[in-house]
Amino acid sequence: MKDNPFLENESEHEDIIYRTENFFVKVGVGLAAPGHIMLITKKPYKCFADIPQELDEEYESIKSRLVTVIRNTFSEPFLIEYGVWGQTVAHAHIHFIPLRGAEYQVRSIIEEMVRPGNITIEMVTGLTDVRRIYKKEKGYLFIEEFGKQYVCHVSKIVYDINNRNPHLSYRLFFEKRGVKAVGRWDQLSPTDKLFDEAKKQETIERLKKPLNEKTD
C-alpha cells in the first residue's frame, strides 16, 4: 500500500514501542496527551472488524495489556476506532487515550462527546458483534471505556472533513477544551509540532519500558 505511514517498515523506529506477532504499538502525531498511543495491525486490514478471527485472542490480550499499562502510568484510557468511516489512514488502527491529562479531564467520552449528538449507540461484547455491524453497515465507530464496549452507528451519517462531525471527532472534542496540538496529523503548525513532540517523547519514555517487561 503506497504512502501508508502505518506499514511497519515505513514507520519511524522510535515511534514503535511494542510489537507482537501481528500487531504493533505506535506513538502517532497530534496526541491528546502523553500516553496517547495507537494499536495497529501489521498487515493492512481495513479495520479491526476486518481482521481474521484467529487474531482475536492476540488482539484482546495486547489490548488488555495496553489499558493496564496506560492506567498505571497515566490514567484510565478510552479506546476509539474509526472503522473505515472517518479514517485518515486506510489501515486498521485504534487509539488509546488517557481520560485525564494536564490540559483536560474527561469523566466519560461516551457521555460528554457522543450522547449530546443523539448518535445511535449499541453496547457490544467484542469483535464478533463489531463484525456483524460492519458487515451490515460497511462502517462504524468503536469506543471502549471502563471495560464497556460501544459501537456508534454511522451508516446514515455523512463524514464531513470540514466540521469533522463534532460528536464523533475526539480531536475536535479536545480542541474545544483548549488542548494544544491535537489537530490532524497532516495539519499541525510549527508551534503545534513542538508541543506534540514533547508529548510524544514523554509517551515513549514512560511507556516503552513497562510494555516490554516480561510477564508471567
Quote the pLDDT of residue 112. Answer: 98
Quote the pLDDT of residue 211. Answer: 98
33-37, 66-70, 183-187, 192-196: least confidently modelled range: 183-187
Q: What is the mean pLDDT of residues 143-149?
A: 99
DSSP letters of 10-42? GS-GGGEEEE-SSEEEE--SS-SSTT-EEEEES
Q: What is the mean pLDDT of residues 104-113?
A: 98
% of the chain exceeding 70 in pLDDT: 96
The answer to whether the beta carbons of residues 141 and 47 sit under 8 Å apart is no
Domain count, the chain: 1
Give the separation between CA 14 and CA 27, rounded to whole angstroms. Answer: 9
The answer to whether the beta carbons of residues 39 and 27 sit under 8 Å apart is no
Quote the pLDDT of residue 216. Answer: 64
pLDDT at 58 over 70: yes
Give the separation between CA 196 and CA 29, rounded to whole angstroms. Answer: 7
- Structural domain includes residue 214: no
- CATH number, domain at 164? 3.30.428.10
95-107: per-residue pLDDT in tens? 999 999 999 999 9
Q: Is the pTM of this model over 0.75?
A: yes
- Structural domain includes residue 192: yes
- Structural domain includes residue 216: no
Q: Where does the pLDDT of residue 215 fall: very low under 50, low under 70, confident under 90, or very high at 90 and above?
A: confident
Q: Where are the beta strands (DSSP E) in the chain?
A: 16-19, 23-26, 37-41, 77-83, 93-98, 100-101, 104-105, 121-124, 140-145, 148-152
If phi > 0 it is left, if psi is from -120 to 50 it is alpha, else beta; for residue 126 that is left
Helix 56-73 × helix 190-212 angle, to 10°: 110
pLDDT at 184 over 80: no
57-90 residues labelled b (16+ CB within 10 A) or e (exposed): eebeebbebbbebbeebbbebbbbbbbbbbbebe
Quote the pLDDT of residue 83. Answer: 97
Answer with the residue of higher pLDDT: 11 or 58: 58
- Structural domain includes residue 190: yes
**CA of residue 99 relative to chain centroid, distance:** 13
Quote the pLDDT of residue 183. Answer: 82
- Structural domain includes residue 196: yes
Structural domain containing residue 171: 8-206
- Structural domain includes residue 99: yes
% of the chain exceeding 90 in pLDDT: 83
**CA of residue 135 relative to chain centroid, distance:** 21
